[in-house]
Chains A and B, each alone.
Chain A
Amino acid sequence: MNRLNRDTIIAVILLLLVGFFTYTSFAIKTPVFEKLAPGQMGPGFWPRIILTGLGIMGLIYLFQSIISPPPPAEKRRGLVGWYRHYKNPIWCFAIFAAFLTIIPVLGMLLSGLVFVFTLMSMLGPKDGAAIKRHILTTLGTVGGMWFIFACLLEVQLPKGSLTGAFDEWLLVNVCGIVSSIGELFANVGPSCSILLASVWGVER
């Protein structure tokens, strides 16, 4: 027998979640106006099959965790030790969540610039040369990707409530130039072909 270890706690949490979802699954009901035909599978049937399987596996996992010795790698860390161990992932998640939150305010381009620069500076070195490198890399990569998606693929990227006018200006000016060049090629291309064909025809 083994005292309470990490696996036991996870198994108990898993079983509690299975219990909660099973309870919730009974609230999944077919509307009265949508009567099931004989032999038609109800909407809660399949989730309950999965939850039964998860319950059985959870019990086996719990049993395994109780009878087996704790894994040797399992070390006990304090809260500070735990934070130190997961510091970078925690910051990544926090900055990414902040990025998603500010998109409606600053738009995709500016939020992306802020996100990539902040994350690089958080995870990487913080000296002057590194910061310069981060700024240049951020501008090049985020700007480049924005250009591909917004101008070339014409994806409607989110505009910010604060920076909507700036986003619009960028779209009109940057993407507008690209489409003008495209139109120029479209107009010049056939003329060149005609010219070349006529020259070629004359030579023959």
Chain B
Amino acid sequence: MIFENIMLATSELMTVSTMLLMIVGVVAGLIAGAIPGFTIAMAVVLVLPFTFGMTAVQGLATMIGVYVGGLSGGLMSGILTGIPGTPSSVATTFDGFPLARSGRPGLALGLGVWASFFGGVISAIVLVMVAPQLARIGQEFQPWDYFALMAFALTVTASLAGDNMVKGLIAGLVGLLVATVGEDAVVGVPRFTFGSDAVQQGFAFLPVLIGLFAFTRLLSDVQDPKKAQDNLGAHSAESVRIEHMKAAKAVLSRWGNLIRSSLIGVFTGVLPAAGSSISNILAYDQAKKYSKEPEKFGTGTVDGIVAPESANNATAGGALIMMMALGIPGDIVTAVMLGALLIHDVVPSPTFITEQPTIAYAIFIAFFLANFTMLAMQSLTLRGFVAVTRVRMYMLASIILFYCALGVFALNNVQFDMWTLFWFGVGGFIMRSLGFPIVPVILGVVLGNIAENALAQVIAISTDPTMFLIRPWSLFFIILGLFSSFFHVYQKNRAIKRWTLGFIPAMCVFLSIPMFMMEGVVRPVLGVGFGLFGLYLIVQRARAGWKLPEPEPVMEVGDL
């Protein structure tokens, strides 16, 4: 039956016109993703009217092309200019930009492209193989679990803050406070608007993101008058060539990071409203935590590019699972796709896969093919984007600032959004100059409303705080959040202090408790395995007399 459906869907999809439309979609997505201020959602919205005259499969294939292209396009501007084209490539800039600046933009871009490709393919495989199971996990989530998940995501700010955790947490809380401006979601009362009608609806996320990132990054680059007249790739004497072979090998050699980050991406995509803007940061954070040399993150490490790029492309697969299995959009893009399905008289519901198998499997295959198309098209368009590195910084900064203003305006056709961009630019620049990290502010703005809504639902159902400890997913995220908060302390002291030997075993043992409490058979069995593994580590290390291990040498970017 599955084979028949796959064959039927393939025959519908493998027509010249559909494939051409998908290629056009991928290129449009790549361009949209590469322009700071032009979001994937915006690109998909703009493409939607063009799909009215197409069949459902053609329309969805085009939109999936835009989606996958957009997720990958953000890495081009992120790596070459340090300004993420989309929120989903924020973490890519942390290591991609320094690596490009150190004279290896070809390798940085190659790593991004191949990580995106493998992330997308892994996510496509997961999508087809375990879609029903993953969708079931999403169904189990209650407000307590969502709030605990948000709290866990916020603990990420602690590790993103670098040396000064307090400044990082302050920045994260400032982001949360920014998200409270405007009408509250429960009763619609304006908060912190100070009588201004323009902020009644709150600050649009995009101007805030672009303001904090674009202004801060561009102004840091042009702050030094001499550096402002340099070009972005001033350190690379020879012309840039995308190092496909080296990049593909480097990505595959980090298969652990690749698979972990892709799974983080898929899992984040499954959860409604937690999209690629969160998954790339979570994956980066986890890669840093598992790295033997976390202090090198932010200076141009391979793992720092592989993690966010594989995760953000993998998120699309997860978001599609929710859209198809439950009819719940995982993010704005899948929400638009739901609209596209409705236009073609297809109502997404839990029975969608069984009732519309051709369309469902066409979506699976289109997603799979879009990743291959993205790889080919990005390889072609990247060469054009590498030319950006030869432009002088001050010229690029002037043009990008105008494009950002234009892109921000085009989102809602509101001039106030451009002022938001400006004021957050000023704020971000001042914060950065004073040593506050910017990423936690962004994370706070992203998570603020989701966390507040989850808390409002929690309080509406029950004011009993023990519910957070009774619900397995909530307890799971609380434990993960606690360990995540102290992970940077653990990493700083790893192989130096004895207590670090007990950190991972203790985490395994504690996490096994909520896993054991979960429904079904697989997860409790996994929980028991997790707990036993933790206990085994404790016994092993106790027998060895809690002896600290010798540090191991790690392959550097230069060794590639």
Question: Residues of A contacting B346 with CB < 8 Å?
Answer: none
Q: Give the distance to chain A from B21, nearest Cβ to Cβ, in Å.
A: 15
Known: A93-B425, A119-B401, A158-B409. A46 touches B419 (CB 8 A): no
Known: A6-B434, A46-B452, A88-B222. A112 touches B410 (CB 8 A): no
Known: A58-B170, A92-B401, A119-B401. A153 touches B46 (CB 8 A): yes
Q: How many residues of A contact B (CB 8 A)?
A: 63
Question: Residues of A contacting B344 with CB < 8 Å?
Answer: none
Q: How far is the CA of A154 from the CA of B395 in the complex (A)?
A: 27
Q: Give the distance to chain B from A121, nearest Cβ to Cβ, in Å.
A: 9
Q: Give the distance to chain B from A53, nearest Cβ to Cβ, in Å.
A: 5
Known: A39-B459, A54-B173, A54-B177. A123 touches B222 (CB 8 A): yes
Partner of B394, one of A58, A123, A141, A157: A123
Partner of A156, one of B166, B177, B191, B413: B413
Q: Give the distance to chain B from A141, nearest Cβ to Cβ, in Å.
A: 5
Asked whether B225 is an interface residue with its Cβ less than 8 Å from the other chain, the reply is yes
Known: A61-B170, A88-B219, A120-B398. A43 touches B422 (CB 8 A): no
Known: A123-B397, A145-B406. A61 touches B166 (CB 8 A): yes
Instruction: Flag if B177 contacts A21 (CB, 8 Å).
Output: yes
Asked whether B418 is an interface residue with its Cβ less than 8 Å from the other chain, the reply is yes
Instruction: Flag if A43 contacts B425 (CB, 8 Å).
Output: no
Q: Which of B216-237 contact A (CB under 8 A)?
A: 218-219, 222-225, 228-229
Instruction: Flag if A57 contacts B415 (CB, 8 Å).
Output: no
Q: Give the distance to chain A from B530, nearest Cβ to Cβ, in Å.
A: 31
Q: Which of A41-72 contact B (CB under 8 A)?
A: 41, 43-44, 46-47, 50-51, 53-54, 57-58, 60-61, 64
Question: Residues of A contacting B433 with CB < 8 Å?
Answer: 86
Q: How far is the CA of A202 from the CA of B397 in the complex (A)?
A: 59
Instruction: Flag if A64 contacts B410 (CB, 8 Å).
Output: no
Partner of B166, one of A41, A64, A87: A64
Asked whether A176 is an interface residue with its Cβ less than 8 Å from the other chain, the reply is no
Instruction: Flag if B187 contacts A89 (CB, 8 Å).
Output: no
Q: Give the distance to chain B from A171, nearest Cβ to Cβ, in Å.
A: 15
Asked whether A197 is an interface residue with its Cβ less than 8 Å from the other chain, the reply is no
Question: Residues of B contacting A89 with CB < 8 Å?
Answer: 219, 222-223, 429
Asked whether A97 is an interface residue with its Cβ less than 8 Å from the other chain, the reply is yes
Instruction: Flag if A112 contacts B402 (CB, 8 Å).
Output: yes
Asked whether B555 is an interface residue with its Cβ less than 8 Å from the other chain, the reply is no
Asked whether B1 is an interface residue with its Cβ less than 8 Å from the other chain, the reply is no
Asked whether B443 is an interface residue with its Cβ less than 8 Å from the other chain, the reply is no
Instruction: Flag if B222 contacts A149 (CB, 8 Å).
Output: no
Question: Residues of A contacting B463 with CB < 8 Å?
Answer: 39
Instruction: Flag if A97 contacts B422 (CB, 8 Å).
Output: yes
Bitwise interface map of A from 9 to 20 toward B, beta carbon under 8 Å scored 1, else 0 = 010001000000
Asked whether A105 is an interface residue with its Cβ less than 8 Å from the other chain, the reply is no
Q: How far is the CA of A120 from the CA of B400 in the complex (A)?
A: 12
Q: Give the distance to chain A from B176, nearest Cβ to Cβ, in Å.
A: 5
Partner of B191, one of A44, A103, A119: A44
Q: Which of A92-125 contact B (CB under 8 A)?
A: 92-93, 96-97, 99-100, 103-104, 108, 112, 115-116, 119-120, 123-125
Asked whether A137 is an interface residue with its Cβ less than 8 Å from the other chain, the reply is yes
Instruction: Flag if A116 contacts B398 (CB, 8 Å).
Output: yes
Partner of A57, one of B173, B228, B425, B461: B173
Question: Residues of A contacting B455 with CB < 8 Å?
Answer: 41, 46
Question: Residues of A contacting B402 with CB < 8 Å?
Answer: 99, 112, 115-116, 141-142, 145
Q: How far is the CA of A71 from the CA of B403 in the complex (A)?
A: 38
Question: Residues of B contacting A88 with CB < 8 Å?
Answer: 219, 222-225, 228
Q: Give the distance to chain A from B429, nearest Cβ to Cβ, in Å.
A: 6
Asked whether A28 is an interface residue with its Cβ less than 8 Å from the other chain, the reply is yes
Instruction: Flag if A34 contacts B187 (CB, 8 Å).
Output: yes
Instruction: Flag if B189 contacts A31 (CB, 8 Å).
Output: yes
Q: How far is the CA of A100 from the CA of B419 in the complex (A)?
A: 7
Partner of A155, one of B222, B413, B419, B456: B413
Bitwise interface map of B from 508 to 528 toward A, beta carbon under 8 Å scored 1, else 0 = 000000000000000000000
Partner of B170, one of A14, A124, A145: A14
Instruction: Flag if B222 contacts A30 (CB, 8 Å).
Output: no
5 contacts between A and B (CB under 8 A): A14-B170, A40-B187, A41-B186, A61-B166, A155-B410
